[in-house]
């Protein structure tokens, strides 16, 4: 069955020249577009249109377009990654929208994720948190044998669930407090659950939380909005673990 054709879509897009400029919404029309078009392809088509009219194209983040890199962002109709659950913006298609609909597209802004241009926000804050402790130090030696360090399968599964985080920032964007707790919880959990990561668990929890706070993310108030919008369905159970790890680490100080 061929995809249906949407006759007209109205796009309300946030335009902002640079980090310092004051932004505002511009309205664009897209006509006769297939429902099978992905959301990012639609923005590509819009940009071709804008270029042909000698206008500045809309800047937006994208990379793999396969839902695994975490690069695409966007706040579409009030939701991070748009109306679908458990998918990233690049996996969203126009068949999810009605003909004639107005789609509001905003950058996922927060104090810690300032807008660079149009729909692109600076997510380096996540890198800084990772650099503060989101790793296992290996200073020497080769890779150990796969079965040399026993890991219970349920722990391995849980660690893998946490490791599914692609660092897209949907949690921060969705949280009414702009809290990065789900991201930090996923990164702390995936290592704290495994024997290799346990060694540095206390230092890691302290350093990553301190960095998160320093960068101006808000405080978690347990609303659970983050997990409902996370494209990888990371659970706030990991936030409970982060709280536990951090409190334990602080008591050890």
Report, in Å, the least distance between residue 187 CB and another protein: 15
Question: Among 197, 212, 231, 234, which residue sits at the site for another protein (rule: CB under 8 A)?
Answer: 212
Report, in Å, the least distance between residue 170 CB and another protein: 11
* Residue 196 in tokens: 């290799």
Q: Binding to another protein by residue 213, rule CB under 8 A?
A: yes
Window 54-73: contact mask with another protein (x via CB under 8 A): --------------------
DSSP 135: S
Question: Among 73, 88, 179, 190, which residue sits at the site for another protein (rule: CB under 8 A)?
Answer: 179
Question: Among 217, 231, 232, 234, which residue sits at the site for another protein (rule: CB under 8 A)?
Answer: 217
Q: Binding to another protein by residue 225, rule CB under 8 A?
A: yes
CB nearer to another protein: give 53 or 211: 211
Question: Among 79, 124, 128, 203, which residue sits at the site for another protein (rule: CB under 8 A)?
Answer: 79
Q: Write out the residues near another protein by the rule CB under 8 A.
A: 12, 14, 23, 25, 75, 77-79, 104, 106, 109-112, 115, 174, 176-179, 181, 209-210, 212-213, 216-225, 228-229, 235-237, 239-247, 250, 253
């Amino acid at each position: 069955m061929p995809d249906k054709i949407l006759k007209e879509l109205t796009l309300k897009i946030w335009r902002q020249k640079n980090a310092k400029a004051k932004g505002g919404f511009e309205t664009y029309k897209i006509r006769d577009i297939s429902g099978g078009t992905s959301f990012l392809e639609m923005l590509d088509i819009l940009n071709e249109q804008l270029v042909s009219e000698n206008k500045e194209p809309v800047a937006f983040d994208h990379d793999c377009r396969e839902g695994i890199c975490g690069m695409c962002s966007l706040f579409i109709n009030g939701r991070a990654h748009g109306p679908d659950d458990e998918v990233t913006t690049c996996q969203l298609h126009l068949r999810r929208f009605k003909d004639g609909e107005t789609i509001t597209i905003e950058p996922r802004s927060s104090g810690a994720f300032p807008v660079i241009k149009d729909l692109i926000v600076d997510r380096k804050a996540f890198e800084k948190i990772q650099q503060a402790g989101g790793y296992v130090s290996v200073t020497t030696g080769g890779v150990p044998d796969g079965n040399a360090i026993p890991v219970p399968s349920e722990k391995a599964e849980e660690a893998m669930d946490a490791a599914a985080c692609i660092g897209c920032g949907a949690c921060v964007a969705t949280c009414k407090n702009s809290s990065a707790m789900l991201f930090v919880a996923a990164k702390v959990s995936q290592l704290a659950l495994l024997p290799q990561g346990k060694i540095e668990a206390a230092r890691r929890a302290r350093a990553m939380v301190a960095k998160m706070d320093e960068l101006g993310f808000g405080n978690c108030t347990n609303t659970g909005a983050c997990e409902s919008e996370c494209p990888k369905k990371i659970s706030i159970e990991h936030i409970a673990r982060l709280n536990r790890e951090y409190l334990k680490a602080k008591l050890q100080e």
